[in-house]
Structure 1
Amino acid sequence: MPYTGPIVDSHHHIWRRQDLRWLSGEVVPRIFGPYEPIRRDYPIDEYVAEAAGAGITQSVYVQTNWPLDQAMDEVRWLRDVHQAAGWPTAVIGTADLFSADAAHTMREQAATSALLRGTRLQLHWHEREEFRFAAAPDAMLDPIFMRNLAVLEELGWLFELQVFPQQMADAARLVAAFPRTTFVLVHAGMLIGPEEAEVKAWHTGMRALAEQPNVVVKLTGQGTFIHRVDPTFLALVTGHVLDLFGPRRAMFGTNFPIEKIWTTMPELVTAWRDTLSSLPLEQQAWIFAENARRVYSLPS
């Protein structure tokens, strides 16, 4: 039977148009396709209403690509949002990890808000330009980047790792260099489609990451490239993830409002409940709530 208990959303966004480069001016191509319907404010009240209606009781906000020189402003804004609304439960910030100033920024963020649990700087690179964010596929091995990543252990923070399958060999080397830091693999490793060649390359990369015990996987963003909620695709991704990582290293998240382009929160949550319904209820509870509480140090 499907799990019906409380859910933790391990990955969501709220935003204000004036604070986001990609929501103002020209439409910049993004990996999730045309996004005109969500080029508007997505305030905390709207998110909470949708989340609570779907059974979500806690949430982790993940940075939304504010300009890097406004990384502190994002943290301050979220501190104020939390004080007013009680949400989000925790925050993943960002910093320019290719800059010598990043360590100072992260320490200042930690001092500014107790909500901080880690940082993300998107590292994904792809042959297709519209899928590309990082400057190079192996940017994660840059010495300055790696020196800044070492600060996470000092802060007790995790790193949100966003890479494509062809980058996972380098990503595994990066993770191995920081065995006491938790790496959270965003969107289950960014499988772009169910084609055999794509799945094979993705599985190979995921197996290399699964060998690193400090990697956990977020079952998020599975509509990113196919632009729909597809039960067959959810089952495909989930089957591989659980075979490789097990149910103690996987967790659910909505990636809202991106998924709002093609679905609703109740439809998304129901699809995931159905996908995981064959698992024992204890394992469903781990994936829907307990693993995220553990990884992000959320109150029980």
Structure 2
Amino acid sequence: MRIDAHHHLWDLNAVSYPWLMERGAVRFFGDPTPIQRDYLIDEFRADADWFDGSVHIQVGAADPCDEAAWVQKVADANADWPMTQVVFCDVTADDLDGQLDRFQTLSTVRGVRQIVGRAPGEDAKTGTNGLLADPRFAEGLRRAGARGLSFDLQLIPDLYSDMARVLDHAPETAIALCHCGSPTDRSAAGHAAWAEALRLLSERPQVTCKLSGLGMFDHDWTVETIRPFVETCLDQFGPTRCMFGSNFPVDSLYSDYAILLSAMRQIVPADMHEAVFGATAAAFYRMGV
């Protein structure tokens, strides 16, 4: 099975996404205006027609339960397209167990996500970095893992060191590092510093890396500009701990799906394709269970 391990869907009539529909806003990944429209399963499947299934990742809905229930309905209505999902959950919440109980009534739920870091400017405003100093965050990670739920981790390189210490308090929780860890500095020196810092995460066997989202900090990317970052992830994590994700429709701001997939297939060695484009995600997200 070939699996896109990181994408989003949205029906603007079914679920509210305040961040997406804010007029005039420019986000760290650019101007969202072109994606301020429905992106539904049929369009995604047409984009991702090389694949056989996918993993839907929460995307900042006003009500995470509404989003999760809607994704479940989409999955149920498309039984020929295996799709699991990662939901939003504040793992520091006092009612964490109650939230997880509700989410786990949905058969597609495999993990949770709570963004730690998006980009330096935005994180300074939102204060999400403070999660790493909150002992409830590490405890929440541990409790999610004890239920068999994974955690999708989005953060920037400045936070790797603190995050590594947090992970040591929840060693049994499977972690999916989103977007290659969001390497923000694409210079040669930036790559070297990111690669060195990345070892703090890659040396922890509970962490699997998503080869995704590299266009968010390099809007004019080419095969050669993203190659060093993909190859470093493959070198540090190995193919059985790397999985491809399109990050569509966000990454549609920078290229179409076919161009993105072609680039990644060129960079990833042929003997790693089975793992990176399917088997790793199938095992991590328990596809077919």
TM-score in same-fold range (> 0.5)? yes
Residue in 1 that maps onto 2:44: 47
User: What residue in structure 1 maps to residue 205 of structure 2?
Assistant: 213
Moved more, 99-108 or 138-147: 138-147
Matched, 1:92 2:86: yes
CA RMSD of aligned residues (A): 1.9
Structure-1 separation of matches of 2:265 and 2:145: 34
Does residue 69 of structure 2 align to residue 80 of structure 1? no
Post-superposition Cα deviations, 1:27-58, rounded to whole Å, max 9, x if no partner, equal 43322111211111111111112112xx1111
1:290 correspondence with 2:284 = no
Checking the alignment, whether the CA contact within 8 Å between 1:29 and 1:130 is kept in structure 2 is no
Aligned to 1:23: 20
Corresponding pairs, count: 286
Question: Structure 2: which amino acid aligns with 1:49?
Answer: A
The answer as to whether partners of 1:229 and 1:268 remain within 8 angstroms in 2 is no
**Aligned residue for 2:263?**
271
Paired amino acid for 2:73: D
Query: Would the alpha carbon gap of residues 134 and 286 (structure 1) be closer, same or farther in structure 2, given more than 3 Å must change?
Result: farther
| Residue 122 of structure 1, aligned match among 106, 115, 122 | 115
- What are structure 2's unaligned runs of at least 5 residues? none
| Paired-residue identity, % | 30
Match of 1:3 in 2: none
| TM-score, scaled to structure 2 | 0.93
Q: 1:15 to 1:215 in 2, by over 3 A?
A: same
Residues 54-88 of structure 1 deviation map (CA, whole Å, 9 limit, x = unaligned): x1111000001012xx1211111111111112346
Amino acid at match of 2:104: A
Secondary structure at 1:32 match in 2? coil
Shift of the 134–296 alpha-carbon distance from structure 1 to 2, 3 Å rule, reads farther
Pairing partner for 1:197 from 189, 210, 214: 189
- Report whether the alignment pairs 1:154 with 2:154: no
Partner of 1:32: 29
Describe the SS at the equivalent of 1:178: coil
> 1:156: Cα distance to partner?
0.3
Unaligned 5+ runs, structure 1: 1-5
**What pairs with 1:246-257 in structure 2 (closer than 5 Å)?**
246-257=238-249
1:113-192 superposed matches below 5 A: 113-124=106-117, 126-127=119-120, 129-130=121-122, 134-192=126-184
Q: 1:145 Cα deviation (Å)? A: 2.0
Shift in Å at residue 247 of structure 1? Answer: 1.6
What do residues 243-293 of structure 1 show as CA deviations (whole Å, max 9, x unaligned)?
2111211111100001111211111111111111xx242x22111111010
After TM superposition, the score normalised by the length of structure 1 is 0.89
Whether 1:259 and 2:251 are equivalent positions in the alignment is yes
